[in-house]
Structure 1
């Protein structure tokens, strides 16, 4: 007993210091361990967030590529097929050519006045067909790419939301996106008639003083085509292209495009509010001044390409009489209306830097103007 008290008395300070050190060490260990656990959990959380972000990027990439494939393999090719059919059908030159050939081979079949009238119609329709094809393919290719970027932006926003909302974003049909892509057909099914009438009016005005015996150099041909396009724009007025490409509202579009006896709406309910939103956003983009500038850039590039192609055919020759130039003018509409994968105009427009920047801004929901 006394020994214990003496031991405690002699070693009390050391014992307390030792216990204090041990207790302090334990506290430090617990703090260190707690810190390590928090750091480990933080690292795990960051890794989960990184994996979720990577997954979102993969999902976005897959969805965007899916829409791009639909656009490249279905939407644009189908719209181009319909556009080609409508233009070549409504501006068919074969009957005029046959009658002129018949009159040439059988004197007396056509009177001089009839020959003049036939040649006059051939002149107007040849230019109308090619210039209308040039304008329509250019605007259609721009419109389809705008569609893809508008949809891509919506997919990004959808995928960035909760997992439940992401599940809904997988379906093109449920959100009206599939039907939105189908609006690319609107130009060739409903806008084309007015387009051809007004383009023909512009051609008639520009060519009214041009005689079949008048000679044309390649530069004069380019100037003539540019004059036709400029007058076409003046006839229609600013931002006229919107009425060709996008219907006024969903209900009007559905009545025009869906047969009255169709049961598709009942079988596959469509979110018309989403379709309305997509169409409204697209209409807004088409009305923007920066899109007007892109249209000018694209049209100038299209005219340059057309003239380069024609110049390659008549290179090194003296200026041609208009009568001899007409077959080449009308023939140029064929490559302009070729399938997208073989269409030089469409592939050329995709590589124009200003147009590429514009598509990026559409995707980011920005504008070239403040």
Structure 2
């Protein structure tokens, strides 16, 4: 009884302190558990972030390796085949041997006016072939890499979906092998369909620029450079903007259905067949301002390299300052056309285009899908 009364008295005197102490202890325990849970969650998040960073690094490494593989395929497989066909077709369309043989055989029988007429034709055709080769090699080099990068990115995404067993896989439109081959075969459109019209318009541009250039005129490095650039500028300014795309792609390359989807219709990109997506993306890239800028840089760089090589003789000494008569320059111009069309692996001009910093950056961005639909 006394113990009970003591406890009761003790409780009455210290009730507030006990409750406060219990409250503090309870709060402390709750905060400790909360802190412990928070610490555990932070550890889990750090672990997840570490795994995610590792996965991101692995994906970046895989994409970089795949990107480099794609560039090698373009340089060693797709482009050489297309270049070989283009070389054959340009030599067929612009065969200078007929004129040169007539000049050789008629050296002692042709009258001076007849010789001058043949030389004038040879002058125009030689520059036509040179500038046609410059434009075609530049465009084909860039076009093939556009194709291969677009196709490679699609293949990479398809493979990634397959590996992840994504629920979207059933809805994914994987690239059919036949469609892949047909798409890559578009690189031959320039040589097989676009070249006659290209040569016709390029010859018109060359005739316009060269009509005031006499065979006796002395050409130095700067005059030749200016002449080639004038022919290119005259050609590129013909017709409507981006008229040159008709030499590289068929008219149906830009599909109305996909264009409509961009303007707000219900059609989405996955509704469009894969081959049509590839062709539409290619058209979109070629008509972009970024591609136009890359073309300009590539043409300027290539013209500089060609003019430099034309004015370097076999001993390695340049003749920039003295120059030479146009009549002596014409054979060098014709010879340079053939060098431009050499097999890509040994073609210094194709390598020059490939190594331009702006070109490398453009295809890095393209592979990352920053320019396409």
TM-score by structure 2 length? 0.74
Structure 1 residues 136 and 42 mapped into 2: Cα distance closer, same or farther (>3 Å)? same
Tell me what 2:217 maps to: 214
Work out whether 1:323 is the aligned partner of 2:327.
yes
Work out whether 1:234 is the aligned partner of 2:240.
no
Q: Residue 148 of structure 1: SS of its match in structure 2? A: helix
Work out whether 1:146 is the aligned partner of 2:146.
yes
2:360 corresponds, among 350, 356, 359, to 356
Tell me what 2:165 maps to: 164
- Shift, 1:150, TM fit: 2.4
Tell me what 2:90 maps to: 87
Q: Can you list the C-alpha shifts for 1:74-124, whole angstroms capped at 9, x where unaligned?
A: 1101111111111122211112111111111xx33x344432332122111
C-alpha distance in structure 2 between counterparts of 1:226 and 1:207, whole Å = 12
Tell me what 2:298 maps to: 298
Q: Can you list the C-alpha shifts for 1:252-278, whole angstroms capped at 9, x where unaligned?
A: 9xxxxxxxxxxxxxxxxxx99212111
Contact 2:254 / 2:279 at 8 angstroms: preserved in 1? no
Structure 1 residues 361 and 322 mapped into 2: Cα distance closer, same or farther (>3 Å)? same
- Shift, 1:307, TM fit: 1.1
Work out whether 1:365 is the aligned partner of 2:370.
yes
**Unaligned 5+ runs, structure 2:** 1-32, 256-270
Structure 1 residues 360 and 307 mapped into 2: Cα distance closer, same or farther (>3 Å)? same
- Shift, 1:135, TM fit: 0.9
Tell me what 1:184 maps to: 187
Q: Residue 249 of structure 1: SS of its match in structure 2? A: helix
Tell me what 2:99 maps to: 96
Contact 1:56 / 1:159 at 8 angstroms: preserved in 2? no
- Mapping 1:1-370, distance limit 5 Å: 53=56, 56-57=59-60, 59-61=62-64, 63-104=66-107, 107-108=108-109, 110-161=110-161, 163-164=164-165, 173-174=176-177, 176-249=179-252, 273-313=273-313, 315=319, 318-362=322-366, 363-366=368-371
TM-score by structure 1 length? 0.74
Structure 1 window deviating more from structure 2 (225-234 vs 40-49): it is 40-49
Structure 1 residues 228 and 35 mapped into 2: Cα distance closer, same or farther (>3 Å)? closer
Q: How many residues of Structure 1 are paired with residues of Structure 2 in the alignment?
A: 344
Q: Can you list the C-alpha shifts for 1:297-337, whole angstroms capped at 9, x where unaligned?
A: 22111111111111223516633221111101111112211
- Shift, 1:232, TM fit: 0.7
Contact 1:249 / 1:276 at 8 angstroms: preserved in 2? no
C-alpha distance in structure 2 between counterparts of 1:177 and 1:238, whole Å = 29
Cα RMSD (Å): 4.1
Structure 1 window deviating more from structure 2 (293-302 vs 44-53): it is 44-53
Structure 1 residues 295 and 50 mapped into 2: Cα distance closer, same or farther (>3 Å)? closer
Structure 1 window deviating more from structure 2 (42-51 vs 70-79): it is 42-51
C-alpha distance in structure 2 between counterparts of 1:323 and 1:211, whole Å = 8
- Shift, 1:41, TM fit: 7.8
Q: Can you list the C-alpha shifts for 1:40-69, whole angstroms capped at 9, x where unaligned?
A: 987886676566556645654554444333
Q: Residue 234 of structure 2: SS of its match in structure 1? A: helix
Contact 2:76 / 2:345 at 8 angstroms: preserved in 1? no
Q: Can you list the C-alpha shifts for 1:321-363, whole angstroms capped at 9, x where unaligned?
A: 2111110111111221111122222222223223233223323
Structure 1 residues 164 and 245 mapped into 2: Cα distance closer, same or farther (>3 Å)? farther
C-alpha distance in structure 1 between counterparts of 2:50 and 2:363, whole Å = 33
Q: Can you list the C-alpha shifts for 1:196-241, whole angstroms capped at 9, x where unaligned?
A: 1110111111111222222222211111111111111122432122
Contact 1:76 / 1:141 at 8 angstroms: preserved in 2? yes
C-alpha distance in structure 2 between counterparts of 1:328 and 1:215, whole Å = 14
C-alpha distance in structure 1 between counterparts of 2:274 and 2:37, whole Å = 50
